[in-house]
Amino acid sequence: MKIKNFNFEADGVFIIAELSANHGGDISIAKETIKAAKEIGANAIKLQTYTADTITLNSDREDFIIKGGTLWDNKKLYDLYQEASLPWEWHEELFAYAREIGIDIFSSPFDKTAVDFLEQFNPSAYKIASFEITDYELIRYTASKGKPMIISTGIATIEEIQDAVDICRSEGNHDIILLKCTSAYPAALEDANLTTIPNLAETFGVISGFSDHTLGTTAPVVAATLGAKVVEKHFILDKSIGGADADFSLDKEEFAQMIKAVRDAEKLLGKVDYSITEKKKKSRVFSRSLYVAKDIKKGEVFTEDNIRSVRPGYGTPPKYLPEFIGKMSNVDCFSGDRAKINMVKGRDE
């Protein structure tokens, strides 16, 4: 599977810098953020495409007031989304700019009109946000466009995840990535349950990854070691910009550290390999082997006192020690000699 030129079989972890609301209402900040994402090595920048009117109702009723211990408690949903949304008229310029500087760009649509709007830019993928995974018609319509589908599973039951996967496949779209996600902002470490990442891949027959809302950079690195092929994290140019997502976003320096740590983790994981490389061969000189520890006259018996397993590794491997012990030497041997099997009487052929 590929997203644009990124090959999931060969290119490691696909790292997405989530712009979200971190634009400060200024397109120049949005472009600088895209540039910074490219500079620090992110594979893609992701936008969110909605308006307050496409995502909620402008209502003052209790249902539409945020509560539950979030960063935005007591705020009206409409007001939050109006503040956080990225203007649709910016999209053309941002898509063009990202492509000009060589970083992939795509978006999360939050309704069918957003999908239709985004299609003109031919995005390399579509992302379904955590809270939209239960909007089956949105998933169906988005999947029908034939682009790879990245779906956050934050609030979904296992049955709903299966439904989302089945809907994509029913539309002939088999390029599916499921992201483990804890839909809390910020998310507590103990709620991350990252061992779900490989289980998502195994259970649903898809690529799996991680959409991170925890603080810091530890979780993405652990996710990578567990097999996450995608890591998505909120990215802000500078936290002084403020905004709805600033508190759980990484700034440029932090995001760069995260990318380096993930890439280092990839190197450490490597592959299953039991071969003896040139480096291993060179290191084997520091392993143990059999050496004469005390002078031995011809006809004397080899004992654990006069032949020993010691470093370095130029002599006979230690597994052959029983071939010596209790046997007679057929030559004079001197302390420091490499023990050789032809020193044993009867083995001198």
Q: What is the 3-state secondary structure (H, E, C) of the chain?
A: CEECCEECCCCCCEEEEECCCCCCCCHHHHHHHHHHHHHHCCCEEEEEECCHHHHCCCCCCHHHECCCCCCCCCCEHHHHHHHHCCCHHHHHHHHHHHHHHCCEEEEEECCHHHHHHHHCCCCCCEEECHHHCCCHHHHHHHHCCCCCEEEECCCCCHHHHHHHHHHHHHCCCCCEEEEEECCCCCECHHHCCCCHHHHHHHHHCCEEEEEECECCCHHHHHHHHCCCCEEEEEECCCHHHCCCCHHHCECHHHHHHHHHHHHHHHHHHCCCCCCCCHHHHHHHHHCCEEEECCCECCCCECCCCCEEEECCCCCECHHHHHHCCCCEECCCECCCCECCHHHECCCCC
Same domain, 139 and 209: yes
Same domain, 248 and 329: no
Give the model's pLDDT for residue 45.
98
Give the model's pLDDT for residue 349.
54
Same domain, 168 and 283: no
Give the model's pLDDT for residue 219.
97
Same domain, 260 and 338: no
Same domain, 188 and 330: no
Is residue 57 in a domain?
no
Is residue 56 in a domain?
no
Same domain, 196 and 290: no
Which range marks the domain in which residue 298 is found? 278-343
Angle between helices 136-143 and 158-170 (to 10 degrees): 30
Is residue 137 in a domain?
yes
Same domain, 249 and 289: no
Same domain, 192 and 314: no
Same domain, 30 and 176: yes
Same domain, 248 and 231: yes
Over residues 120-165, the pLDDT tens digits come to: 999 999 999 999 999 999 999 999 999 999 999 999 999 999 999 9
Is residue 69 in a domain?
no
Is residue 232 in a domain?
yes
Mean pLDDT by 10 residues, the chain (349 residues): 96 97 95 98 98 97 90 90 95 98 98 98 97 97 98 96 98 98 90 97 98 95 98 95 90 97 96 91 94 97 97 96 96 97 85
Domain finish residue from 235, 269, 303: 269
Q: Please tell me the distance from the alpha carbon of residue 21 to that of residue 235, in angstroms, as a whole number.
A: 10
Same domain, 224 and 308: no
Domain finish residue from 247, 269, 291: 269
Is residue 72 in a domain?
no
Domain of 291, CATH number, reads 3.90.1210.10
List beta partners, residue 17.
Answer: 45, 233
Is residue 187 in a domain?
yes
Q: How many domains does the chain have?
A: 2
Q: Residues 339, 315: contact at Cβ < 8 Å?
A: yes
List beta partners, residue 9.
Answer: none
Domain of 236, CATH number, reads 3.20.20.70
Is residue 216 in a domain?
yes
CA 299 to chain centre: 64
Domain finish residue from 269, 296, 321: 269
Over residues 64-93, the pLDDT tens digits come to: 999 987 788 899 999 999 999 999 999 999
pLDDT > 70: what percent of the chain? 99
Give the model's pLDDT for residue 245.
87
| 278 token code pair | 């040139």
Q: Residues 175, 205: contact at Cβ < 8 Å?
A: no
Same domain, 252 and 306: no
